[in-house]
Structure 1
Amino acid sequence: MITPDLESGVKVWHLVKNHDHGDQKEGDRGSKMVSEIYLTRLLATKGTLQKFVDDLFETLFSTVHRGSALPLAIKYMFDFLDEQADRHSIHDTDVRHTWKSNCLPLRFWVNVIKNPQFVFDIHKGSITDACLSVVAQTFMDSCSTSEHRLGKDSPSNKLLYAKDIPSYKNWVERYYADIAKLPAISDQDMNAYLAEQSRLHATEFNMLSALNEIYSYVSKYSEELIGALEQDEQARRQRLAYKVEHLINAMSIES
């Protein structure tokens, strides 16, 4: 808030007006709008933001509209999921689709959409949070393989983008298909990529803290991990089960 002009008695507000009463909730406009006005404003706001939502979804679900090449890690991870599905004879395309959605869009992008303050130095008010929740819900519905049956009692945030979601679903399916068609990433290229990323961000993370978190996970599931490493042929050649067991024993010794 800018300091009020005492001579004219006029208060100048910055972006939003602070509430005069402490018991009034943030974002409460003081009076309820009638449903007709609310619906009209809701549709008008959607129309204003439609291009930005479309641009966001097209950028996230496209291998060519990113402004840069698709990260190697995404291709490598999706190929790994397809390989695991083949290994376990899982031929249901919905299962493969859900795995990929849970790994990237629903695990990462929804969190960024819902919480822009993680990326930008901004304050997220309750009104902004409510609007972003609608976009995030639409994003999640677009990644789903199930049909959304809507009726007159469905919430407005579901009805608002009901006609757009089929198109967004096609974008998601096309995105996964386009990634599957890209050339496979070799282990050597992936290792080189990870080494380069580690070098670029070497001073930005606490390595000991990260290792401690990994150790907590390893010690909790030590039997399952050691058993899996003993069954894997490549892990047996590198004696990974013995190394993990030795590491757990060494870390568990009180010093």
Structure 2
Amino acid sequence: MTILRADCTLPPAVKHLFDFLDNAIKRHNIVDPEVIHTWKSNSLPLRFWVNIIKNPEFVFDIHKSNIVDSCLSVIAQTFMDSCSTVEHRLGKDSPSNKLLFAKDIPRYRQWVSQFYRNIQEMLPVTDQEMSTAMMELSMNNRLDFNVSVALRDLFQYAKQYSFELLEALDDDSSGKKLRLAARFEEVLITSGEPPDY
């Protein structure tokens, strides 16, 4: 399965995110392996890939007929079941879409777990590599996006959660070193939107 391949084509952001999640597990002394598996599943396969599988019109200029929509729903559900660590008991009353791929789900689950292990074994992405990758992505798509609108929307979101963001930035050691909370407060004040305490 191409979307579960961890090699040089894997975006550095995915490795960076998964390393962040692995570090969060260690930092919070969480020992249940199901937690990290669930975090990773919810951050990439279930949040991104299932959405694309179920709604290809988000990416492609296509019309999706009802029958195609039904078929894609079955495929998306199968992928979701593959990312789950919970074994579902199936019987004669189970929905046909669950029964269709029931015998394949254990193998698909192994693929998902192996994908997470392969990413974990990859060399860490340095801040410089991450910065370079983001710059390349930005340059390659600079004509595709309205940066001003994106910044405005991000700022609206940041304003909405300014208290939580300031608190998190104050608690984070890297954030403290870079004085991110103070910088964010300056941006809020400069914009005429002082933070609510």
Q: Could you say which TM-score interval applies, normalised by the shorter chain?
A: over 0.9
2 CA distance for matches of 1:83 and 1:163?
34
Question: 1:143 deviation in Å?
Answer: 0.3
1:73 to 2:13 alignment: yes
Note the C-alpha offset of 1:220: 1.4
Q: Secondary structure at the match of 2:94?
A: coil
Q: 1:170 pairs with 110, 125, 128, which one?
A: 110
Structure 2: distance between partners of 1:115 and 1:232? 37
- Give 1:119 deviation, angstroms: 2.5
AA paired with 2:77? Q
* Structure 1 moving runs of 4+ over 4 Å: none
**What is the one-letter code of the residue matched to 1:206?**
N
CA distance in 2, matches of 1:128, 1:231: 48
**Structure 1 pair 119/228, CA: closer, same or farther in 2 (3 Å)?**
closer
More helix by share: 2
1:219 corresponds, among 124, 135, 159, to 159
- Structure 1 CA distance, aligned partners of 2:12 and 2:34? 24
What CA distance in whole angstroms lies between the structure 2 residues aligned with 1:118 and 1:220? Answer: 27
* Equivalent residue letter for 2:20: F
Give the equivalent residue in structure 2 for 1:233.
173
Question: In the alignment, which residue of structure 2 is the partner of 1:243?
Answer: 183
Which amino acid letter does the alignment assign opposite residue 152 of structure 1?
Answer: K
Deviation at 1:192, TM superposition (A): 1.0
**Total equivalences in the alignment:** 193
State the shift of 1:116 in Å.
Answer: 1.6
Cα RMSD for the two superposed structures: 1.4
Cross-structure match for 2:44: 104
Shift of 1:236: 2.4
Q: Which has the larger radius of gyration?
A: 1
What TM-score, normalized to structure 2?
0.93
How far, CA to CA, are the matches of 1:233 and 1:121 in structure 2? 45
- Cα offset, 1:164, TM superposition: 0.5
CA distance in 2, matches of 1:237, 1:153: 58
Q: Which one of the candidate residues 59, 80, 91 is aligned to 1:140? A: 80
Bigger relative CO (Cα 8 Å, ≥ 6 apart): 2
Deviation at 1:63, TM superposition (A): 2.1
**SS at 1:252's partner residue?**
coil
What is the alpha-carbon distance in structure 2 between the residues aligned to residue 147 and residue 252 of structure 1? 52
The aligned counterpart of 2:90 is 150
User: How far did residue 233 of structure 1 move?
Assistant: 2.9
| Corresponding residue of 1:62 | 5
Rounded to whole Å, the distance in 2 between the matches of 1:123 and 1:157 is 23
Shift of 1:250: 2.1
The normalised TM-score by structure 1 is 0.72
SS of corresponding position for 2:57: helix
Instruction: From 140, 146, 155, give the equivalent of 1:200.
Output: 140
Q: Work out the CA distance in 2 between the residues paired with 1:221 and 1:158.
A: 39
Deviations 1:182-224 (Å, cap 9, x if unpaired)?
A: 1111111111111111111111111111111111121111112
